[in-house]
Amino acid sequence: MPGIDESLLEAMRLPGARGASVVDWISGLALGAVGDAPGGDVEATAAETAELARLATESGALAAVGGDPGGSSGKEPPVQDLIVTNTDSYHLLRFVSTTFDSTVFVHLWLDRAEGNLALARIRLAEMADRLVLG
């Protein structure tokens, strides 16, 4: 089972990948990062994407499961992934299920012209399922 570094290198092999990171959405800290970051600052990007992740997971409407406004039960994050589309890129945030608190996500910055959003989403989900933290 791959750790953070191996998973990030795997993400960077996706066509059009500009940068990738694993972020704790509670603290806003990058647990690992490779490639470039929007604006050139990995930590600022981690903090900003963590804020987006917090908003989505704490939203009653977005995090509702089967009409349950309380969100998901157990260790599963209430949101699986987020996609933000810019004029020249995509930002994919894939939440990672863990045995403890599930407060981690993988952020992939993907070039819109060179990347394949559908493929990246599938591969990121597979990668997140295999990711070993610790």
Q: Which residues of the chain fall short of a pLDDT of 70?
A: 1, 64-76, 134
pLDDT score for 75: 59
In order of their start, the domains of the chain are 4-130 (3.30.450.30)
pLDDT score for 66: 59
The helix/strand count (H/E) of the chain reads as: 3, 5
pLDDT score for 83: 96
pTM for the whole structure: 0.87
Given a contact cutoff of 8 angstroms between Cβ atoms, the answer to whether 35 and 17 are in contact is: yes
d(CA 97, CA 16): 26
